[in-house]
Amino acid sequence: MFANNTTQDTAQQVLKVVGISLPEAPAKLQALATTDARYLKDLKINVTNALEAGTLEKKEAYLLGLAVAVNEKIPVLQQGLEQLALAAGATDKEVADVVSCTSLMNANNVYYRFRHFVNKEFYTTAPAGIRMSIMANPVIGKEFFELVSLVVSALNGCEMCVTSHEEALLKHGTGEQRILDAVRLGAVIKSLGVLL
């Protein structure tokens, strides 16, 4: 009477949550489904809860997920989350802004991490020499741009970027809960990404 549904279904369900529809789950996910891994349910709950965080609008949650997909170079995830973001009211320009922000952060995360690691006067006082004009007036708004920057920086492990963007967000009046929800979303979508 109280038998479980199979993890095969769970694999498809977790894909659906991020807008992916494939006839067969990707190999690593499939391997977990085949061995009936308990983890699949945890993963599904984590992804669902992260996307439904109370401090993030649906559109924002999908756009943050999209940034993770771009950063982790997972086309199928990028496509799925982009569709969900558009369906939740995002515009093409906003999607483009998130993709741009993620790309720019990939430059900054490497560059500023170097400065932070070495911590010598010449490197830290010389002009950056990287154009960042999209930061001036982003379509997605400055606060959300900061939030995307923070999540991507957390993924890429740049301490200086993470601390700076977190402080910038607090100055924007962003609550700590929203910051934490965004970073959790980034972390959890990445954990799904490694199985795709």
Partner 1 sequence: MKNAVLSVGAEFPAFAKKAVVSIEKGKEFYDITSEEIKGSGKWMVMFWWPKDFTFVCPTEIAEFNKHYQDFADRDAILIGASTDSEFVHLAWRKDHEDLRGLQFPMLADTSKSLAAELGILEAEEKIAYRATFVVDPNGIVRWTSVYDLSVGRNVKEVLRVMDALQTDELCPCNWQKGEATLNA
**Residue 101 annotated among the catalytic residues of the structure:** no
Q: How far is the CB of 3 from partner 1 (least distance, A)?
A: 9
Q: Does 5 engage in binding with partner 1 (CB under 8 A)?
A: yes
Report, in Å, the least distance between residue 57 CB and partner 1. 16
Give, as ranges, the residues between 128 and 157 that touch partner 1 (CB under 8 A): none
The least distance separating partner 1 from the CB of residue 38, rounded to whole angstroms, comes to 9
Which residue in 67, 77, 95, 158 is the catalytic one? 158
Nearer to partner 1 (CB atom), residue 41 or residue 172: 41
Q: Indicate the residue among 2 and 122 with the shorter CB distance to partner 1.
A: 2
Closest CA to 29 of 7, 11, 42, 43: 11
Reference 167, options 158, 179, 157, 156; nearest CA is: 179
DSSP string, 120-149: -HHHHHS------GGGTS-TT-HHHHHHHH
180 touches partner 1 by CB under 8 A: no
Cβ distance to partner 1 smaller for residue 94 or 181: 181
Distances from the Cα of 188 to the Cαs of 47, 96, 130, 183, in angstroms?
6, 23, 30, 9
**Nearest distance, CB of residue 7 and partner 1, angstroms:** 10
- Side chain identity at 152, as an amino acid letter? V
How many binding residues for partner 1 (CB under 8 A)?
Answer: 11
Per CB under 8 A, contacts with partner 1 among 29-88 are 41, 44-45, 48-49
CB nearer to partner 1: pick between 58 and 172: 58
Q: Which two tokens stand for residue 72?
A: 């982790």
13 binds partner 1 (CB under 8 A): yes
Give the whole-angstrom CA distance, residue 145 versus residue 153: 12
Quickly count helices (H) and strands (E) in the chain. Answer: 10, 0
**What distance in Å separates the CA atoms of residue 137 and residue 141, rounded to the nearest whole number?**
7
In the block, residue with structure tokens 């995002």: 90
Q: Kindly tell me which of 49 and 163 has the beta carbon lying closer to partner 1.
A: 49
**Residues annotated catalytic, as ranges:** 158, 161
Binding site for partner 1 (CB under 8 A): 1-2, 4-5, 10, 13, 41, 44-45, 48-49
